[in-house]
Structure formats: C-alpha cells, structure tokens
C-alpha cells in the first residue's frame, strides 16, 4: 500500500513509500516508519543507516482504504539524496496570473 509521508507541523510532503502488513504493524508498534521494498522484497526502517528517522504522530487512510497518510516529525533528511523532501525537483510551475 502506498504511504505518503508528511511533516506533522507544516504538512510538507516528504516522501512516498510502500508498506505491507508487517511494515505497518512495526510502524504502529514502534512509532517509527517502516516500509516494504518491493524491489528487494524486504522491510526497511527509515533512518536505520542514515540516522534520519521519522517519529510517527498520526496515521490516516484515504476513502478507498488503499493509501496511507502518515504525519511525522522528521529528523534529518527524508530523501536519500540528502534533501529534506524527495519532492525537490520542479517539473512545472504555473503562474497564478496566467
């Protein structure tokens, strides 16, 4: 299931990752984000190697019950590139006056 991770205070979107039942259960149990790598087919704990952890403050599910919204307190960068958010590459910006 896709999980959208946002900053609990600013609502900034930090990243998108995937969870399965086991990673969701570990997230609820530890109040730290755990994800499922679809390519490696294994669980991973956000910050296990980088130290850039995510303390879970709230978990919501969408109306179709197929996407999670997880609000966190981010320590360090959310993105593996070192950026605070994985969404730092602008593709298009529309001028509000256009």
Angle, CA 43 vertex, CA 37 and CA 55 arms, to 5°: 105
In a domain, 96, yes or no: no
Residue 87 lies inside a defined structural domain of this protein: no
Measured distance CA(23)–CA(36) in Å, rounded = 6
Whether 82 is covered by a domain: the verdict is no
pLDDT at 40: 94
Residue-wise pLDDT for 38-92, tens only, equals: 999 999 999 999 999 999 999 999 999 999 999 999 999 999 999 999 999 999 9
95 belongs to a structural domain? no
User: Per the domain annotation, does 33 fall within a domain?
Assistant: yes
Work out the pLDDT band at 98, boundaries 50, 70, 90: low
Domain-embedded: residue 64: yes
Q: Which two tokens stand for residue 83?
A: 């950026």
The whole-model pTM stands at: 0.92
Q: What is the CATH number of the domain that holds 27?
A: 3.10.20.810
């Amino acid at each position: 299931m896709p999980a959208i991770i946002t900053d609990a205070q600013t609502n900034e979107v930090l990243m998108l990752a995937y969870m399965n039942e086991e990673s969701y259960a570990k997230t609820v149990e530890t109040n730290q984000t755990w994800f499922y790598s679809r390519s490696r087919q294994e669980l991973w704990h956000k910050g296990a190697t980088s130290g850039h952890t995510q303390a879970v403050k709230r978990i919501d599910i969408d109306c179709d019950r197929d996407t999670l919204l997880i609000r966190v307190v981010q320590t360090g960068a959310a993105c593996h590139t070192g950026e605070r958010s994985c969404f730092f590459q602008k593709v298009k910006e529309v001028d509000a006056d256009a």
